[in-house]
Amino acid sequence: MTKSVIISTESAKWTDGYILKLAPMFPELTFKAAYTLEGSMKLAPEANVFIGVAPHIPPELIGAMKQLEWVQTLTTGVDNFLSMTELPTEVPVTNIVNVQGPQVSETALMLMMSLARKLPIMFEAQKVARWERWMQSALFGKTLCILGLGNISETLALYATTLGMKVIGVSDNRLNAPNIDHIYTRKELNIAASKADFLVVLVPLSNETYHIINANVLSSMKPTGFLLNLARGNCVDETALIEALRDGVIAGAGLDVFEREPLNRAEPIWSAPNVVITPHIAGFADIFEEQCFPTVIKNIKIYNDEGPAGLTSALK
């Protein structure tokens, strides 16, 4: 019997583009597009494979796929699957890794420059045609501390070093990494934070990293230091962060991810002082569709040749 592959991505263009490319490559499979959750639910009973964006794959959709053999997420993070009881234990969930370094690193640099140079204040001055100048803070010579040393961190370290920054890292899994001067353990996070002009969170979310940035860590930072979170919202205690910002414990924050998403208009982080907010777009770049494609092809080949058992699940 022909296996059915349902594809639902961030956009119709992405979904249709994948089907147009994949269908001729794998004629033994049947590819179908879903453009909404409702559309996915209608196709769920026949789905053997689902290709989609992890946060947009709810438990009820997985539960409706009674013939499901494999999920390919078009994201790196798979934390929403970790406690999803509707997902059978034998169904592998594969993800996208080692491709988002450029866009996430560019977002980090954008936020660092925006915070250091007070770009939001410049925009406000422009709106009212007010000519106002102040001394600009350069990234050159500043210390960047990266919490979590994976592929994205390596790219960011390269970019930062090129700009003349000193880069240190925090990891329990690595003793050295390219373009990083010194690596501290997680037990030494407070020491590393105290040296940082910019502390960037790029660690995966787990039980060990939940609220890893807390009031204690924030109080260890310089009052001129900035926190950036490009990982997962729950890696940072937002309540503690808001208090630190209001009390001047740190100078500001650049945030792309939040404990509750989408960010409700009533959330106090919107009005916290010296915060630059981006709506979880660090990895969401115009090149991402192309970046994901080789992984999707590779995994479909494995699925065809070896079945779902040949795939390495990101949940293990």
Angle between helices 12-25 and 288-306 (to 10 degrees): 40
Helices (H), 199-316: 215-220, 238-246, 288-306
Q: Which two tokens stand for residue 42?
A: 């209608």
* DSSP3 helix / strand / coil % (the chain, rounded to 5): 40, 15, 45
Q: How far is CA 298 from CA 3, 102, 302, in A?
A: 17, 22, 6
Long-range contacts of 171-175 (CB under 8 A, 24+ apart): 173/149, 174/149
Q: Which of 200, 246, 242, 249 is nearest to 220 (CA)?
A: 249
Rg (CA), the chain: 21
Active site residues: 232, 261, 280
